[in-house]
Amino acid sequence: MNWGNAISAAVLAIVTVSAASADVITVDLNGGSDYLTIQEGIDAADEGDTVLVADGTYTGANNRNLSFGGRNMTLRGVSYPTIDCHYEGRGLIFENGEGPTSVVDGLVICHCVATRGAGIRCLNSSSPTIMDCQIYSCEASSRGGGVQCLDSSPAFEGCNIYWNTAGTSGGGGVYCEGGTPSFVDCYIGWNWSDFNGANIYCDGSSPVISQCTLFLGEVHGYGGALWCTAGSAPVVSHCTIVDNNSDYGAGGIGCYESSSPVISNCIIAFNTAEGSGTGEPNAVYCLDPGFSHPVLMCCDVYGNQEGDWVQCIADQLGVDHNFSLDPKFCYGAAEIVYMIDASSPCAAANNAACGLIGAWDVGCDENPVETMSWGRLKALYRE
């Protein structure tokens, strides 16, 4: 590790309250740094400092259950170091009212376990900024396998949250209870829940979800992509909500207890139910029609099992530029990105009223556009 170059780049990228007094503390498990473990580096930091973590896989007691202790500081990885909890604890916890200038940037957090919020847990009005991180293969027995936000409003930017699980109470990927967390340009998929909300569960919460891909969520209850309950009112824009599955219906989005998501410029496509819920809508489904009122604008709802513009959104087809046409995804690439073909009705060039619909722009190049089932996707990407 060339600490001189790494530190210089990090310092230029950091905006602190007092740049002159801010320090950069280095952590490298191979030595030659200020500290060998991440928590030691955090404990040595003051307000505005940066803890710079070298590449490598960090394990053991001082590299899990990490806490900023209320400090507004930055924890930044160089070349994406990995915090591997080995299923012996949580990744990080924010419980002391940390604000947006408490930053986690460029880390991989995996194999974490906790009762709630196994990867990252935010509570007590904590609102850190989590940037360019991966949170995967984490397990919670209750709420939030990947992330739990409890009366807190963290900001997640450019993060991948996948392969996480939650048991009772749901939220395999993310569980939001109260607060207004935000998720921008995030890839949230392959998460599983034994209750509701495989990818995201909203419980009296109003998160902002923008430019995100919610895909391949698998839930034993309702809401493969997104579950809204207890008056939740998430604002969902420019998202691709696709290929999610449930046992009881609402493979895509489920609403209950007077919840009213506002959904704009989104693709909701190819969501299914494989269990006893066959027969229930899988695009958007209200378990309390007449009380929950999802509002859709500039949305393409297409190819969902048991119908698209049905049940509580039946009267919105053709209103506010909503439609139902094949989005023409570029399936067949090396990874799932859900780019669209140039001829897609969701491409900005083909939709003057709405502009781009979904999280992904045109990008098929010469690849053919294929129709692909949810089952085939699982077989391709879970081997």
Query: In the predicted model, is pLDDT for residue 17 greater than 80?
Result: no
Query: Would you state the pLDDT for residue 88?
Result: 98
Query: Would you state the pLDDT for residue 331?
Result: 73
Sequence-distant (6+) residues with CB within 8 A of 198 are 170, 172, 173, 191, 192, 217, 218, 219, 223, 224, 225, 244, 246
Whole-angstrom distance, CA of residue 190 vs CA of residue 162: 5
Query: In the predicted model, is pLDDT for residue 192 greater than 80?
Result: yes
Query: Would you state the pLDDT for residue 378?
Result: 44
Give the chain's mean pLDDT.
91
Residues 124-148: pLDDT tens digits? 999 999 999 999 999 999 999 999 9
Query: Would you state the pLDDT for residue 16?
Result: 39
Which pair of tokens denotes residue 223?
């809401």
Query: Would you state the pLDDT for residue 358?
Result: 98
Residues 57-84: pLDDT tens digits? 999 999 999 999 999 999 999 999 999 9
Q: Is the dihedral of CA 319, 337, 91, 74 positive or negative?
A: negative
- Backbone dihedral angles phi then psi of residue 61, each to the nearest 5 degrees: -60, -35
Segment 93-108 mean pLDDT: 98
Residues 18-64: pLDDT tens digits? 444 789 999 999 999 999 999 999 999 999 999 999 999 999 999 99
Query: Would you state the pLDDT for residue 2?
Result: 52
Residues 320-331: pLDDT tens digits? 999 999 999 997
Residues 154-178: pLDDT tens digits? 999 999 999 999 998 899 999 999 9
Segment 187-199 mean pLDDT: 96
How many C-beta atoms lie closer than 10 Å to residue 263's C-beta? 26
Band (274; pLDDT cuts 50, 70, 90): confident
What percent of the chain has pLDDT above 90? 84
Residues 284-341: pLDDT tens digits? 999 999 999 999 999 999 999 999 999 999 999 999 999 999 999 997 644 567 999 9
Whole-angstrom distance, CA of residue 343 vs CA of residue 350: 7
CB 358 within 8 A of CB 329: no
Query: Would you state the pLDDT for residue 277?
Result: 53
- Backbone dihedral angles phi then psi of residue 40, each to the nearest 5 degrees: -60, -45
Query: In the predicted model, is pLDDT for residue 381 greater than 70?
Result: no
Query: Would you state the pLDDT for residue 337?
Result: 77
Segment 267-273 mean pLDDT: 96
76 closest CA partner among 146, 6, 19? 6
Query: Would you state the pLDDT for residue 366?
Result: 56
Residues 344-371: pLDDT tens digits? 999 999 999 999 999 999 998 755 444 4
Query: Would you state the pLDDT for residue 6?
Result: 52
pTM for the predicted model, two decimal places = 0.91
Residues 209-257: pLDDT tens digits? 999 999 999 999 999 999 999 999 999 999 999 999 999 889 999 999 9
